[in-house]
A and B are shown apart, each in its own frame.
Chain A
């Protein structure tokens, strides 16, 4: 199959997935026994006001009709109006999303670097101290809840040591330029190094907390995959050619061993986006995750469904990229 046809097919599948996500999110938010109108107007609002509000929001229609209206809106890139901010949800998302994607990318870079390096070294130096360290690191990573680790690190680095800031994306009186919405990138583009270092010091803790679990699972998969590859016949061939250990490992083994890791990286991206909901709350990170949480607290349905849908969309997109990168890494996939 040609790569183009493959991508087209994947995009078609993505549409189906998105429809599924929209359906599930819509019904979950609409069947919970809570009334957004009550949340907006308060418990003591007169009944006429409540009814008027219901009509205004379309909540008086049968749920199936509401659903059809909702899907129609999505097709036209209209996620509805946020009940809380009274702005189109899409505008809010575009406003908040860059912070989330910046955090996700920073976490991803951390997770991939640490995971791959630890995994490779613990495979090469199997059962040596680095391997034991990597094992402990990984077990901690996959077993520590994000909110707990985040709070502990805040306690240590912010409260006790006062080395790193306690939350937010930047300090109070620093005004980073906004070009792409990615603070670090924008600071570099504008050449504003004060803003850059300030932003960097703010992103370290949340990126670590968010990326730790992914780094741990990448390290484990990388190690297993590397050990498996090092046993293969072609590694013996490479050695018998007289290639140095370094060339054998980094040129012959690593590229093969990375193939299964790419899958994990794609899946990790999903957990980074969903983990962002917690991490952003802990670190008061002004991203989509916190936007969804805040929306949920005031029963702002359009914002919750819109935000969730958007994250699901980015996740599917990331997995598409992963599947395409397979073809780049593994010639056997290029059929």
Chain B
């Protein structure tokens, strides 16, 4: 076992692969991540960098043709990676809930939304779906800012994206989970609705005290919402720090590149893209997966993967440029 660094979630050396006809996709390459209770963590990175795979690994929902081949996921004192399916069922939806990117597609098209929430509540509280459960459904719909009388008997196709996401939030929070994973919850929504949904999440999470992992490729959303941020690149965690540190003092060159590519009102310098392309994860680059795109590449970067080291208190970077500082910190 690795050292325990957060009191809610500890992921160490997580490796996930997908077996495809094209070859083995090395989707996660030793992800390290940890968080405390009630904390809000943002995971950012480009499409395909492994954000969602990380989330699904936590849920225990990596299925054929994917497989966790190495690493541990410790949730509180429970080792999720060694749990069987029938034990995981009691964690999912109860202690860890999840909301998704396409809210309309995430709801079953042939079931009324009220029933879908009731199903969640019934499962968690181990109750038959009856009057009592439906009273709770109404309460959750109200909490999520919906008029329950109008929505409870609707089918998903009758809801707007924003309403559907509110339903998903009501469903996910109905068990008051310790951890809520929001996988790009606003990416498919209009900008104005995005703001409303984020506001709602913010308000509810404050009220209930749930920890949140917010997965996004939108740096602005992450900055607004999260206490801490983890930057992922091609299946690795490359930088992990408090949100302010990530924005004011990014260290990893990938993080720096990402921030340079964010448009902002009043910004006068040109937007810069990161040269090169996202690597193919069937044949990833050797050593640090970012090395082909890095201006400061050294010999060692091509050979070995840099470990995530603490370069300042609470600021972790996986890059050989800061390797010595990290070692010093670890020793002092």
Question: Which residues of A come within 8 Å of B, CB atoms?
Answer: 232-234, 236-245, 252, 255-256, 329-332
Closest Cβ–Cβ distance, residue A123 to chain B (whole Å):
13
- How far, in angstroms, from A237 to B156 measured CA to CA in the complex? 13
Q: Does B155 contact A (CB under 8 A)?
A: yes
Chain A residues in 8 Å Cβ range of B124 = 242
Residue of A nearest to B108 (CB): A234
Partner of A241, one of B86, B92, B105, B111: B92
CB pair A234–B92 under 8 Å, yes or no, is no
Contact of A330 with B100 at beta-carbon distance under 8 Å, contacts A239-B92, A242-B91, A242-B123 already known: no
Q: Is the CB of A236 within 8 A of B100?
A: yes
Knowing A232-B105, A242-B94, A242-B124 are in contact, say whether A331-B59 is a contact too (CB < 8 A). no
Q: Is B109 an interface residue (CB 8 A)?
A: yes
In the complex the two chains form, is A240's CB within 8 Å of B59's CB?
yes
Tally of A-B residue pairs with Cβ under 8 A? 68
B206 at the interface (CB under 8 A from A): no
Between A and B, 9 residue pairs with Cβ closer than 8 Å are: A234-B109, A238-B108, A240-B97, A241-B123, A241-B171, A242-B123, A255-B110, A329-B110, A332-B155
0 or 1 for each of B210-232: is its CB under 8 Å from A? (1 = yes): 00000000000000000000000
B61's closest neighbor in chain A, by CB?
A239
Contact residues of A: prevailing secondary structure: helix
How far does the alpha carbon of A331 sit from the alpha carbon of B156 in the complex, in Å? 9
The contact size tier of chain B is 20 to 34
Is B243 an interface position by the 8 A CB rule? no
The CA of A252 and the CA of B108, in the complex, are separated in Å by 7
B93 x A241 contact (CB < 8 A): yes
Instruction: List 15 additional A-B contacts (Cβ < 8 Å) besides A240-B93, A330-B110.
Output: A233-B100, A233-B105, A233-B106, A236-B106, A237-B168, A240-B92, A242-B92, A242-B120, A242-B124, A243-B119, A243-B123, A244-B86, A244-B89, A331-B157, A332-B157
Contacting pair B155 A331 (CB below 8 A): yes
- Chain A contacts for B168, CB-based, 8 A: 237
Could you say which residues of chain A place their CB within 8 Å of the CB of B111? 252
A238 to B108, CA, bound (A): 8
- Whether B97 pairs with A256 at a CB distance below 8 angstroms is no
Instruction: Give the residues in chain A near B203, CB-CB below 8 Å.
Output: none
Q: How far is the CA of A257 from the CA of B155 in the complex (A)?
A: 17
**Smallest CB–CB gap between B185 and chain A, Å?**
13
Within the assembled complex, what's the spacing in Å between the Cα atoms of A234 and B102?
10
Cβ contacts under 8 Å, B109 to chain A:
234, 256, 330-332
Complexed CA–CA distance, A44 and B94 (Å) = 90
CA distance A242 to B89 in the complex (A): 5
Contact residues of B between 250 and 293, Cβ < 8 Å to A: none
User: Closest approach, in angstroms, between the C-beta of B1 and any C-beta of chain A?
Assistant: 26
What residues on B are CB-neighbors of A241 within 8 Å?
Answer: 92-93, 97, 119-120, 123, 171
Please measure, in the bound complex, the distance between the C-alpha atom of A240 and the C-alpha atom of B63, giving whole angstroms: 13
Q: For residue B123, which residue of chain A has the nearest CB?
A: A242
